[in-house]
Structure 1
Amino acid sequence: MSTPRLDLTADPIELTAALVDIPSVSRDESLIADAVEAALRAQTTDFEIVRHGNCVLARTHRGKPTRVILAGHLDTVPIVDNVPSRLTVTAEEGEVLHGCGTVDMKSGDAVFLHLAATLADTVCDLTLIFYDCEEIAAEFNGLGAVERDLPDWLVGDVAILGEPTAGQIEAGCQGTLRVRFTAAGTRAHSARAWMGENAVHKLGRMLSTLAAYEPRRVDIDGCEYREGLSAVGVHGGVAGNVIPDQAQVDVNFRFAPDRSPEQALAHVREVFAADLADGTLTAQVTDSAAGALPGLANPAAAELVAAADGRFRAKYGWTDVARFSALGIPAVNLGPGDPSLAHRVDERVPIGQITEVTQILRAYLTGASRAV
């Protein structure tokens, strides 16, 4: 298939539709990466452009005092009869663009690409990173590959990820920890249950503890993060007439970014200390990722908040802002679209939000918001 042509100077709404119409399910992003690279090379004048696998990187060297990183992933979840894009107008939602990736996050990518092609006079240098494989296991994440292989591209004063936030800044992100708790017993025939030791029954105290758990709320830089400790999976049982000799509960702890993963694990072990101390349960960490502090006190981030009319809130889910935070770069999420509509068959974005985010970032990158 020939490389689709993208007009980066077109309205970002039209550009969003064009991006959506290029299928780019995770691990199949070469066509959209080709299109983005070709458009940047043809329609921008002073960007250094590098291709790394299916990541497309571009940056200016204008000698500005600060550098802003705009990063967005090119991949989507599998398509479910929701490509190509289509526009609808209803009394309830107004003008809405439908299609896989409209929310997560080709509308954000479209805004970044449009601004790169149309802003010749910025108050900061720009770095754009369009990467692959965000929607699948972290080991395949293209941004991680850039961090390993081209670390100088992840140098900046503030990073903006085009994750869907309905046009409102969502700062930082919470960390995530998954722990598998295992109870051991003795297998026996259920007709002679007294001869066994039921592993499933041993989960009772733990599940009661989870049901009674009161999650913490914490304010950081004016953002309220709400933690959550939840059972997300229960496994056990052998057959309908067998006392199970093993049972497991998977617990997910979403923790505020003022905790490290090590502190989060210590807290989880404290919550279930009684079961762990007497040997009822053993614990194994199956997944862990640090959160990201909002960093809104940083001057570059504070200017972005001002450009967004002071509208910001905490990000509860984990996003790649954590990668930038770990490098000491304040990072926020800002993009069109309701995140609750991401990955759905009826994924859709109000076109007004695409325009709104474009205006916010245009004012921020040109310094127009400073004069207000």
Structure 2
Amino acid sequence: MPVSPAPSDTDVAARLAGRTLELVDVASESRSEARLAAHVARVLRDGGAEVTELGDSCILARPPGTSPGVMLAGHLDTVPAQDNIPGSIDAERVRGLGASDMKGALAVMIELVLAGAPYSALFFPREELPSTESALVPLLQRSPVEAELVIVMEPTDGELHAGCVGNINATWTFRGRSGHSARPWAAENAITRAALGIATLASAPVLPVQFHGLTFHEVASVTRINGGIAANVIPETCTAQVNFRYAPGRTPDAAEARLRELCGGLGELEITGNAASAPVALEHPLAQRLIDAGELAVAPKQAWTPVAEFAQFGYPAVNFGPGAPAQAHRRDESVEIARLLHAHRVLEALAT
């Protein structure tokens, strides 16, 4: 019986690009992923894959009869649209909401399973929301999955990004006493107090932290601020939202203590979310095989990703995907077709 020739790069790239555009055009903003989950499940079933729906728009798929040691994982949701859906395609890129983060990666996952590559593929919702709304943690609690290594296909520009930084969100409240703006000496301005606190935080240098040979950076930022009720009233309350990214090796409790230290004891700091960092899994033999399969550059993941949630449940996990971190969440978001092909070929090579 003649053996069918392997698909050419041109054919695979065209299929990946078309699949990415197809997924972009199925809206799936966070909390509204059910339609895309149903679409992905249908595409995989129609292509002959074994599909298990795990509830809450979580889907596990694999080629029939395989028992994969490596699991590919990707989130179905996107940030809110910015007039960038439906998408479009040209000779070099697929453009549109979620193209880079991370519907291009979902397309790679789908096409590998349909081609019979010995991977399981896990699709899940609500990654773009605070960790308190995670769908992955409850899933792993109720339905543990089998995997020796998890490859989370977050945007990495085709590099392997190891570990991830932890992520604290906090509300920082400053209090004063209201009064007439014509007589500010008779009041205490909460915004002025907030400005002093924010200046203290902003003066703290970025802290580089070496962990397993990689340099992560600890950094705190004020991301939102709100205060005042009228143009002629000295405000009695001002609140700021603070985000702190901390390196692997620092526990969540130690990270909270460090953020309070950076805030200089000023104002009232309420921690509203604390997603732990993830260890570096580069010593795992399958991670080394992945690096070798694509001759991949290795870098620290200077962001939070679900590798931390997998690590919480004992799964070694790394980040590798075709998207570009610099493209994520942009109005003009896009993914390079060449990167889609690269990710597909690297994972093919790992499988063999």
Which TM class, normalised by the smaller chain length?
0.7 to 0.9
1:77 aligned to which of 73, 79, 87: 79
Distance 1:348 1:191, change over 3 A: closer
Q: Are residue 55 (structure 1) and residue 48 (structure 2) matched?
A: no
Answer whether contact 1:167 1:357 (CA < 8 A) is retained: yes
8 Å CA contact 1:105, 1:163 repeated in 2: yes
Check conservation: 2:52, 2:60, Cα contact below 8 A: yes
- Structure 2 CA distance, aligned partners of 1:312 and 1:321? 16
Cα–Cα, structure 1 residues 264 and 51, in superposed 2: closer, same or farther, change >3 Å? Answer: closer
Aligned counterparts, 1:184-199, within 5 A: 184-199=175-190
How do 1:90-129 residues align onto structure 2 when only pairs under 5 Å count?
95-119=92-116, 122=118, 126-129=119-122
Aligned to 2:258: 267
Distance 2:158 2:85 in 1: 24
- Runs of 5+ consecutive residues of structure 1 not aligned to the other structure: 1-7, 90-94, 367-372
Distance 2:69 2:311 in 1: 15
Partner of 1:68: 70
Matched residue, 1:170: 161
Q: Secondary structure at the match of 1:323?
A: helix
State the SS of the aligned residue for 2:155: coil
Contact 1:49 / 1:59 at 8 angstroms: preserved in 2? Answer: no
Of residues 116, 125, 138 in structure 2, which corresponds to 1:132? Answer: 125
Structure 1 residues 146-205: Cα deviation after superposition (integer angstroms, max 9, x where no partner): 22331x22x422111121111111222111112323232222223333332333333354
TM-score by length of 2: 0.87
In the alignment, does 2:347 pair up with 1:361? yes
For 1:18-76, what per-residue CA distance to the aligned partner results, in whole angstroms no more than 9, with x for missing partners?
Answer: 2223333333333332232223223236x463342422112479686x72121112222
Which deviations, in whole Å up to 9, do the C-alpha atoms of 1:83-134 show, x marking residues without a partner? 3432224xxxxx11222222111110111111112235x4xxx331111232
Tell me the number of residue pairs that the alignment of Structure 1 and Structure 2 aligns. Answer: 341
User: Separation in 1 of the partners of 2:309 and 2:297?
Assistant: 23
Distance 1:339 1:225, change over 3 A: same
What amino acid is the match of 1:22? V
Residue identity over aligned pairs, in percent, reads 36
**What does the per-residue CA deviation read over 1:207-238, in whole Å, with 9 as the maximum and x for residues that have no partner?**
33223211211122332211111222233223
> Which residue number in structure 2 is paired with residue 211 of structure 1?
202
Letter in 1 for 2:72: L
CA offset digits 1:269-324 (Å, max 9, x no partner):
22334xx3xxx522211221111122111222222222231411111121111111
Distance 1:21 1:63 in 2: 31
Q: In the alignment, residue 59 of structure 2 is paired with which amino acid? A: V
Kindly indicate whether residue 47 of structure 2 is the aligned counterpart of residue 43 of structure 1: yes
8 Å contact 1:41–1:49 — kept in the other structure?
no
Aligned with residue 160 of structure 1, among 151, 156, 159:
151
Contact persistence 1:9–1:117 (CA under 8 A): no
SS in 1 for 2:209: strand
Amino acid paired to 1:54: S
**Separation in structure 1 between the aligned mates of residue 182 and residue 241 of structure 2, nearest angstrom:** 29
CA distance in 2, matches of 1:23, 1:148: 28
Q: Give distance in 2, aligned partners of 1:243 and 1:50.
A: 55
CA gap 1:189/1:257 in 2 versus in 1, 3 angstroms: same
Q: Could you report, residue by residue, the CA deviation over 1:254-277 in whole angstroms, capped at 9, with x for unpaired residues?
A: 11122122111111222334xx3x
Two-structure CA RMSD over aligned residues (Å): 2.6
CA distance in 2, matches of 1:331, 1:265: 25
Shift of the 11–251 alpha-carbon distance from structure 1 to 2, 3 Å rule, reads same
Alpha-carbon spacing, 1:41–1:234, altered in 2? closer, same or farther (3 Å): closer
Alpha carbons of structure 1 residues 41 and 100: separation in structure 2 relative to 1, 3 Å: same
In 2: Cα distance, 1:251 partner to 1:136 partner: 16
5+ unaligned residues in a row in structure 2: which ranges?
Answer: 1-11
Change (3 A) 1:38 1:272: closer
Q: Residue 9 of structure 2 aligns with which residue? A: none
Q: Matches of 2:111 and 2:175 in 1, distance apart?
A: 58
* Partner SS, residue 313 of structure 1: strand
Partner of 1:340: 326
Amino acid at match of 1:290: A
1:331 partner amino acid:
A
Kept after mapping to 2: 8 A contact 1:9/1:114: no
Name which of 305, 309, 312 aligns with 2:295.
309
TM-score by length of structure 1 reads 0.82
